[in-house]
Amino acid sequence: MCNDYRLEVDIASIAEDFESLQIKIKMPEGTPNVPAREDIKITDMAPILRSVEGERGIGELVNRRWSWPGPRGKPVYNFRSEGRAFSSHRCLILADGFYEFTDPADPKQKRLDKWLFTMRDHPWFCIAGIWRESAACEAFTMLGEACDRIQMNVAQAIEIHPGALAQVPHRDHDMWQGEKGKHEYLVNVIWPLSPFTRENGGTEFYPRSHGAHGITQSHPAPPVIAECLPGSAICFLGSTLHGAGANVSSAARRAVIFGYSLGWLKPYENLWLAYPPEVARTFSIELAGLAGYAQHRPNLGNYEGRCPSLLLSDDVSPLPGAIDALRPDQEMMVEDILARQRSGEVRPWLHIP
């Protein structure tokens, strides 16, 4: 989850863009001081555009702190909606890039490799957020949608032999029976190990077949073939209609595929069997987390009531004792209910608005 983003585009040109969208910007506290910054980090002040109660087409531009303190003091810098609608206190977080971090390519390097993500067709964008008053100040947090963390869904090598017939077109998200179209369940990345061509079964994708609208189409447009060379990556959503083509060439078509799904789903591959603790111990923390050695709040995928990353340590207690892994909003609710019971209230949950 993003803990570092960028805003170097000046506020005046962002305000102009909003005006062309017929969204009027008010600055109730005067023009906020927004220096161009390569890194905006948790607890920094940064500009947000917040909705105005009862008004449409108007936003208030203010500077606020990124993250509020959670019940145990940890900053709440992202929040998961879990299908809840937030009808008030919504805001847009202005950004022109965000960062993700991976283990360094050079093992001698101590710093993680830092990757910048930007919009391809526009110099800036917004991240969904909510804001609230906290004891110290008003603050905002990023609003996630469908899960706390992602997991590896599959890691597979695929070889399509000469003479193989075309695969039946399908959507990979159909392995799960939940409602489709509300949010995406997974994203796949195919890494070709041999050239993908029309002749050797290069994967066929049906344009605009993905997402809420795409999955309702009964007659999709003709497919495009992902012709590319090793070194390319083919990235597609689980809702995209696709299938391997027929291999009419004389050579095998080879690739590896890595898929990543919402962290609370049952993965395609049984991760703990595929990567038992003695194997996962050789992974980085991030990779071990993707391979199932991380809990998904609240309490999903635990081992004896604890995060399964416990199994990667040298000294594993047979009975480590359970600890709840709740989201900050759940922690707050539980602490409130316990406090009210201690002060004599009976079933206080019946009186929570």
**Minimum CB separation from Fe ion for residue 159, in Å?**
15
Q: Which is nearer to Fe ion, 238 or 328 (CB)?
A: 238
User: Which of 96, 148, 172, 331: binder of Fe ion (CB under 5 A)?
Assistant: 172
Q: Which is nearer to Fe ion, 256 or 339 (CB)?
A: 256
**Minimum CB separation from Fe ion for residue 8, in Å?**
39
Tokens 């004896």 locate to 304
Q: Which is nearer to Fe ion, 172 or 184 (CB)?
A: 172
**Minimum CB separation from Fe ion for residue 201, in Å?**
13
Q: Which is nearer to Fe ion, 78 or 209 (CB)?
A: 209
Point out which span in 23-31, 147-155, 172-180, 265-273 binds Fe ion (CB under 5 A): 172-180
**Minimum CB separation from Fe ion for residue 169, in Å?**
9
Three-class SS of residue 278? helix
**Minimum CB separation from Fe ion for residue 341, in Å?**
51
Measured at the CA of 340, the angle between CA 337 and CA 343, to 5 degrees, comes to 150
**Minimum CB separation from Fe ion for residue 188, in Å?**
7
Point out which span in 30-38, 54-62, 165-173, 283-291 binds Fe ion (CB under 5 A): 165-173
Q: Which is nearer to Fe ion, 96 or 172 (CB)?
A: 172
Q: What is the token pair recorded at 219? A: 């007659």
Query: Which letter, b or e, does each residue of 126-140 get, where b requires 16 or more Cβ atoms within 10 Å of its Cβ?
Result: ebebbbeeeeeebbb
**Minimum CB separation from Fe ion for residue 171, in Å?**
8
Picking from 239, 235, 241, the residue whose alpha carbon sits closest to that of residue 222 is 241
Chain residues 241-300 in contact with Fe ion, contact rule CB under 5 A: none
Point out which span in 93-101, 170-178, 320-328, 341-349 binds Fe ion (CB under 5 A): 170-178
Stated length of the chain: 353
Point out which span in 11-19, 142-150, 166-174, 293-301 binds Fe ion (CB under 5 A): 166-174
- Using alpha carbons, list the distances in angstroms from residue 124 to 43, 50, 306: 22, 17, 41
Q: Which is nearer to Fe ion, 99 or 205 (CB)?
A: 205
Q: Which is nearer to Fe ion, 210 or 306 (CB)?
A: 210
Euclidean distance between CA atoms 298 and 71, whole angstroms? 15
Point out which span in 97-105, 167-175, 229-237, 281-289 binds Fe ion (CB under 5 A): 167-175
Cβ contacts of 344 within 8 Å, gap of 6 or more: none
- The DSSP element (H or E) to which 75 belongs, if any, is strand 75-76
Euclidean distance between CA atoms 320 and 303, whole angstroms? 9
Ramachandran category for residue 272: left, alpha or beta (phi over 0 → left; psi -120 to 50 → alpha): alpha
Indicate whether 184 belongs to the interface with Fe ion (CB under 5 A): no
Q: Which is nearer to Fe ion, 202 or 328 (CB)?
A: 202
**Minimum CB separation from Fe ion for residue 158, in Å?**
10
Count the residues of the shown chain that bind Fe ion, applying the rule CB under 5 A. Answer: 1
- Using alpha carbons, list the distances in angstroms from residue 343 to 330, 333, 347: 20, 16, 12
Q: What is the DSSP string of 312-337?
A: GSSS--S---------HHHHHHHHHH
Q: Which is nearer to Fe ion, 78 or 240 (CB)?
A: 240
Q: What is the DSSP string of 226-277?
A: --B-BTB-EEEETTS-EE---B-SSS-EEEEEEEEEETTSPPSS-HHHHS-H
Tokens 């079964």 locate to 201
**Minimum CB separation from Fe ion for residue 264, in Å?**
21
| Positions that interact with Fe ion (CB under 5 A) | 172
